[in-house]
Structure 1
């Protein structure tokens, strides 16, 4: 027991987020094997709708809970959460036939109704488990995530095993929401209360309305490609595309949540003199995550996707390399989130995410002209890389470090990933040994770049590790 107490709760949060990713991957793999590709495609449309609606109604309630300083403020946030959940839930239920018509699948209407009920239930969760993360106490959040993910995974797989029906996805979402809400109340350190303080509501609206706009842009950018694929090239192609992108981009959600959970308190708690140091650690962390993913997926994406989802989901290496490049861009696109949420600079986040939609616009146009997924991915990479370049040029208002340092660290990583992806697509001829040699060359150059960034920032690997896995403290910075 003593040894368990010595484990940083942030490390347990990392384990919970790995569980989050692992559960989602396991569910996807299981459903891909238990359902026919068309049924799997239908299940995907359910998750796409649920994801889009949740993103476009994001009011920043979780980061507001982290920033809260009183029980009254938290109680008001509970009331706002219920109101939001009710509006979102009834909207999904009312629009269920519209969603079914969009994907040419009338049979999915009941599934969207279940998703709407799930969103309504979510509003009743206790935010105390989020508020305690400001003190680096992640244990209640960890338990909520793990228990609810296990419930979701078990329910979905059992339902699919018995019925072989796409409704397994919707039933699993409902189980997840019920379990998370119940667990958050059980683990809450203070009684769940409701209040309505007009000043707090006004401040929450000021803080959250821009995040709602950001959520709309983020939903279009991150999930619009699946909607376009399903509408243009059919459910079978959507199933293949989702098998590839899920294995690539699903971990990003968990990683970004984890990094946001540990770095937002760093920025909130940092004094003026510490901000530059924390900012450099954050930039290096983001570049390391993006580069590691990019090179790893170029090398292993093709065989792993086929192994995990089955030979019928085999894809060409060119498509894998493009997904690897897009994923690297999106992993490094997490750059603004923790400092922006900590300092309330939400306008920059909204502008960046809105600009990122240009990638989907370009890619969607190419998809409808050429009818091939490669052109969709090329357009998305171009637009989102240009948006990331713009972000760095305008990031000095948030991070007190030079643009040159960010360009060298982030865009240097992106250049190496892009070069490796292009080389692998054109020349490896699906030869795993040649592909390994190409990826190894890029990885060595990337490791040298990260080392020069650490040295230039006067940061050690120990400091980087302590930033990513902080220890629980009563107050102040954990680094």
Structure 2
């Protein structure tokens, strides 16, 4: 296959236009947006870690655990139903707005009532007011303009990009001001609440609509509501189980280190996987009536996501110690071993996570419940046992075990939903995994050179080492892809985009030199 064929990006027999092109461009825009937002989050994190202590982060992590569990339990599939709907009418939008307001009211009352008992359970009265304040964040997230769905259905994510970047930047300024004024854990809580507040305001600037409280089209949401709510309950418990359980077995400072490592390990998920997942539902919904096309689209998208996430996870895991030393400072070095072990677990969930979008697209939301329920039944008892016997190390090991079980469950469910054989999935991911292993060997050779460097040389060394690793990964993946006969699918799409980007950079460089 020639370069012209690659740049043309024939994916699954179709030129890279129409749905495929919109999906790729939408995913790229969302990824850039999320990278920008995460960069702002990282700046916020660096500022707060230099002004606050691990104990402060551990305290907020305990309060956030209850808030995030309740938020997930009361999460409504409003956006998913609107995206999947044949037509978005004004009554449907008003119903979505009403459901969001009711959800916020119920969520706020539940958190207010449970704040004090939860604080007593962990023996710290400061947790109760923290929970009540942090409850504002999920309430505000549910009050964003539902009319934003018009942009999502067209795969126009510019409003999301501007809203997220501006909201995060303003939240950084507010949190930094609170941190400088108080040197208190309230700065972390302020950052969590300020961002959704600004984002909600910006959503109405992009998609204005008059408030209308009605439930005329509630039946559109009812079928998805029951299954999705149950799935969200178990998903929330799965997500926060280790923090919730570890808080009973380890000191606050150790919990703060673990929470920081967990948040850093989730950066590839938040910056790459989650924004790409937002394109899955609209893309798969348009293929729901063609089983073969749906299967190929899902496999292509999943392979593309895996190939993007793999090198970032490898770099984060193998370069954890110099990254933590540079970004957070010496007193946070306890984060590094946790981060090295937690980061690779994300790869096990790159097949598991997109299944919720697929289940909604094919009209079988009950499949999401099966996924999260199996994970819950495995995770909770294993985490309790491991935390009791081995503390922090045991809880980290359980994540890997649960990830492997979740992967197996996802492969079985994929075959039941769309007839996708597990072997096809594993074969499609074999080449990105082999390229990631080659990158890992390169980083292992280069890593010792980063020891003992000062901040500026360390930063330059990390950029050089990480950049070389990414370039080596890209070359290895391209070589393996060519060796396999240049198959269509996710790798073809990713290599085509990378080839186009490199060619444009070279042309601009040549023009600048001329």
Pair in the same fold by TM > 0.5: yes
1:407 matched to 2:423? The reply is no
Counterpart in 2 of 1:180? 199
Deviation at 1:237, TM superposition (A): 0.4
What is the TM-score when the length of structure 2 is the normalising length? Answer: 0.78
Aligned position for 1:162:
181
In structure 2, the residue matched to 1:42 is 59
Residues in 2 aligned to 1:314 and 1:287: alpha-carbon distance in whole angstroms:
29
Instruction: Select 1:97's aligned residue among 116, 139, 163.
Output: 116
Normalised by the length of structure 1, the TM-score is: 0.83
Q: Aligned partners of 2:351, 2:335: CA distance in 1, in Å?
A: 25
* Distance across 2 between alignment mates of 1:192 and 1:139: 24
Distance 1:308 1:76 in 2: 45
What runs of 5+ residues in structure 2 fail to find an aligned partner?
1-23, 452-464, 501-514
Q: Which residue of 2 aligns with 1:476?
A: none
What does 1:120-159 correspond to in 2, within 5 Å?
120-159=139-178
Residue-by-residue CA offset, 1:275-324 (whole Å, 9 max, x unaligned): 23312211212321442233222321221122211111114875444212
1:41 positional shift: 1.8
Residue 375 of structure 2 is matched in structure 1 by 356
- Cα root mean square deviation, aligned: 3.6
Q: How far 1:156 sits from its partner (Å)?
A: 1.5
Q: How does 1:289-300 map to 2 (within 5 A)?
A: 289-300=308-319
Among residues 69, 84, 98, which one is paired with 1:67 in the alignment?
Answer: 84
> Given the alignment of the two structures, is residue 259 of structure 1 paired with residue 247 of structure 2, yes or no?
no
> Which segment drifts farther, 101-110 or 310-319?
310-319
Q: CA deviation at 1:456?
A: 4.4
SS at the partner of 1:398? helix
* Mapping of residues 330-369 of structure 1, within 5 Å: 330-357=349-376, 358-369=378-389
* 1:3 corresponding residue in structure 2: none
Corresponding residue to 1:205 among 194, 197, 222: 222
CA apart distance, 1:236: 0.3
- State the 1:449 CA deviation: 6.3
Residues 332 and 451 of structure 1: is their aligned pair in 2 closer, same or farther, counting only changes over 3 Å? farther
User: What does 1:466-477 correspond to in 2, within 5 Å?
Assistant: none
1:370 equivalenced with 2:401 (yes/no)? no
Aligned residues: 456
**Matches of 1:130 and 1:452, distance apart in 2:** 42
Cα separation, 2, equivalents of 1:225 and 1:196: 38
Q: 1:25 to 1:107 in 2, by over 3 A?
A: same
Partner of 2:258: 241
- 1:46 deviates by 3.2
d(CA) in 1 for partners of 2:174 and 2:231?
A: 32
Deviation, structure 1 residue 459: 6.1
Distance in 1 separating the partners of 2:239 and 2:490: 33
Per-residue CA deviation, residues 109-142 of structure 1 (Å, 9 max, x unaligned), is: 2121112244334433211113421111212222
CA distance in 2, matches of 1:56, 1:431: 45
Cα 1:211–1:230 change in 2 (3 A) is same
- Secondary structure at the aligned position of 1:225 is classed as helix
Q: For 1:62 and 1:254, how far apart are their aligned partners in 2?
A: 20
- Distance change in 2, residues 1:370/1:445 (3 Å): farther
Bigger-Rg structure (1/2): 2
Given that 1:279 and 1:401 are in contact with CA atoms closer than 8 Å, whether structure 2 keeps it comes out as: no
Q: Which residue in 1 is equivalent to 2:235?
A: 218
Residue 395 of structure 1 corresponds to 414
Gaps spanning 5+ residues in structure 1: where?
A: 1-6, 470-479
- Offset of 1:95 from its aligned partner? 1.1
CA distance in 2, matches of 1:449, 1:101: 57
Q: Is the 8 A contact 2:227 2:366 kept in 1?
A: yes
